[in-house]
A and B are shown apart, each in its own frame.
Chain A
Amino acid sequence: MTDRPSVLVPVRVLEGESIPEGVPELLSTAHVVLLGYHVIPDQTAPGQARMQFEEQAIERLDEFEEIFTDAGATVERRLVFTHDGQKTINRFIREEDCLAVLVPNATGSVEDVLVAVRGTVGIDRLARLVAGVFGPIDASVTLFHVGSDDETDADAETLLDAAADRLADLGVAESAIETRLDRDRGPLDAITETAREYDAVVMGETDPSLATFVFGMPADQVAERFFGPVLVVQREPPAESEE
């Protein structure tokens, strides 16, 4: 395997979704796991959909694969017929050990990126992704933290500085790294508002809870309101779990 960060790019391949402008360039130094999937209703057997749509879907995936390869990425591709798109995406994150999932939105050339840092947990994966994807294209990286009430500015700065050091260790030019602190706003609003000034967003996955069940994952909500690409960094897979 490469030391390129693996990024999952899920595409609903038969519903006209394609790879938006700018995304191949953004991921040119990543290992792209290209997942073409097609969601079918329960009444339909997945094999039935395969018989009818396989050729067409493979043709499109071929095109997409070529776009990524031409841009310089390494590509692993798969076509899946499924009743449950989310289950398929989760399986790929696990099986292919993906650092992040891309919510594809079009972008121009990426010059700056907003990286939401929530806490120390998972910071290593976050740093690996940012360094791997944005380091080589010399984008300026802004580490962004939204302070909570029981957290002093000093705490927050320590956190952001630690993250900056990690990035520098991984080869990102120190001059390209900025830190930015916000408070008195919900993290979600803060990220969405601030993101407007940037070309892309990197953020962490949120633990599922009642709120995420009702309102959807924050990452999806950000992606909906922000018109550029969002990379959602995935939690560390649990070390060899039960079974």
Chain B
Amino acid sequence: MDDQPAGSTGQNVAGEVPDEEPQAVTDETTVHDDDVELERTIGLSGGLAIGVGTMIGAGIFVFPGLAAENAGLAATLSFAIGGVVALLVALPTSELATAMPRSGGGYYFISRGLGTGIGAIVGLGLWLGLVFASAFYLVGLGHYATAVLAEVGVSLGIDPVIAIGLVFGVALTALSIGGTENTAAIQNVVVGILLVVLTAFLSYGVLDALGVFGRSTTPETFFSQGYFPVLTTAALVFTSYLGFAQVATVAGEIKEPSRNLPLAMVGSVVIVTVFYVVTIFVATSAFGADRLGQFGETAMVEVARDLLGVPGAVAILVAGLLATFSSANASILSASRAVYALSRDALLPRRASEINLRYGTPHVALLAAGGPILVLVATGKVELLAEVASFLHLVMYALLCVTVIVLRRRDPAWYTPTYRTPGSPVLPAIGALASVALIVFMQLESILIGVAVMVVSYVWYRYYAADVSLRGDI
């Protein structure tokens, strides 16, 4: 099949054909037809902000309590395992991204590397995976907002977590559609503030845990819950590592992609892994895993209160709100990019990426993200949402690793990555196996929902765009 001319062929049920591939990719632009250019405007810090901003919310502000309850102090190990797996995937993904710096991220790479059918499953899965992830972040946000209300002494008759999540879901979608302010700049600032607050807080926490301030901490057996929960917990908390692939969904807009894409993806994984491991260490040292688990989603607030009193609790509450908000926001935007990439390739109706003439925003794609998110938020099931999101992403991650191995072997003329992942094919193979292995440790319910999403995706592809065949060409 390498002998066939490059370029995509076929049309979908509605008679739409895949958009043409660009002619060239430069450091600053993507060039179509000689004189039409798409400017690249996101620098390294912007890329890191997308990656870190998406990830840091969940791992620090939602999971510590849940993870500690499941795995005890060894939850630190669970986060470390998640980080290593993420890194094993981020390296091959970086290679693919430098070879194909186009919007759509993982979906684009896989559809060009492994074929349209698998690409369609991954693409629709990526969109829905991001929808699940956003819903998860919004429920987390609901927990934080509820904690804030409790802190100021407002008590509502009902549990407001889901209601708040829904309100923010609606608000975020509406803001994305109607907002003209510079969302990327805001995201950068939010992430900057978060990192400063967290660094200060964690530094203090580490010193405290090491006994510098003369308090006794709670020493504990590392594997208090046994070895197996370490792995199931790793599978659960892997949702905190879903952000680096979001960097790839805007690969078409990153400046100097051959340098900035690998740095942003690998860099954001390394940064958040360090933060996660230290956070769990501090949290479990302050309270011990059992009590931490009882605090649930907002356990970090109690940790901060214990270490620094009310001001600490307030700081972490605010940080938690910011973090979950930025994660949800980034995921909605990425989901809309995924919808765009699918509709560009005629796997979804072209209408789905239509731009609103008044605001200049893709209102259909944003609603395609925001709508299902609200439905999922309404279920309020944090762990289930997190695991399904992880499942759909892990399938993509495993396939990304496979794609690198396949493309290296086939070596088509257009495949000229400027960054080459080390240790191929061994490390990518390990990355693929590790991704699949994490799936195995998930709850059955999550796996079933994930598989159902994939089956529906494939059926949609067979029905709507069986004739479409996508090929790499840059």
Contact = CB atoms under 8 A, between A and B. Distances in A.
Contacts of A50: 32, 36, 38
A2 to B, nearest CB: 19
Given A77-B35, A79-B37, A48 B30 contact: no
B45 to A, nearest CB: 14
Contacts of A53: 355
A51 B36 contact: no
A48 to B, nearest CB: 5
A54 B32 CA distance: 10
Contact of B337 (A40, A45, A52, A88): A45
Contacts of A84: 39, 41
A237 B360 CA distance: 34
Contact of B176 (A43, A46, A82): A43
A35 to B, nearest CB: 10
List of 6 A-B pairs having minimum Cβ-Cβ separation, nearest first: A82-B39, A46-B38, A83-B41, A42-B184, A42-B183, A80-B37
Measured as residues with beta carbon below 8 angstroms from the partner, the interface class of chain B is: 35 or more
19 contacts: A41-B180, A41-B183, A41-B361, A43-B177, A43-B366, A45-B103, A45-B253, A45-B340, A46-B252, A47-B30, A47-B103, A48-B355, A48-B362, A50-B36, A78-B36, A79-B37, A80-B36, A84-B39, A88-B39
A120 interface: no
A44 B35 contact: no
Contacts of A78: 35-37
Contacts of B469: none
B290 to A, nearest CB: 44
Contacts of A176: none
Interface of A: 40-54, 58, 77-84, 87-88, 91
A45 B252 contact: yes
Contacts, number: 96
Nearest to A35: B37
Contacts of B361: 41, 43-44
A160 B360 CA distance: 48
User: Interface centre among B41, B179, B344, B354, by most A CB within 10 Å?
Assistant: B41
Given A40-B355, A44-B361, A81-B38, 9 more contacts: A41-B361, A46-B39, A47-B38, A50-B36, A50-B38, A54-B32, A79-B36, A81-B36, A91-B28
B333 interface: yes
A58 B38 contact: no
Interface in B327-384: 333, 336-337, 340, 344, 350, 353-355, 359-362, 366
Interface string B10-49: 0000000001000000001110100111110110000000
Contact of A44 (B19, B42, B360): B360
A229 to B, nearest CB: 25
A43 B183 contact: yes
A87 B37 CA distance: 13
Nearest to A94: B28
B183 A40 contact: no
User: Interface centre among B28, B36, B353, by most A CB within 10 Å?
Assistant: B36
Contacts of A81: 36-39
A66 B360 CA distance: 28
A150 B438 CA distance: 74
B182 interface: yes
B36 A54 contact: yes
Contacts of A58: 36
A209 to B, nearest CB: 21
Contacts of A87: 39, 41
Contacts of A40: 355, 360
Contact of B184 (A51, A83, A88): A83
B253 A83 contact: yes
Contact of B29 (A41, A54, A77, A80): A80
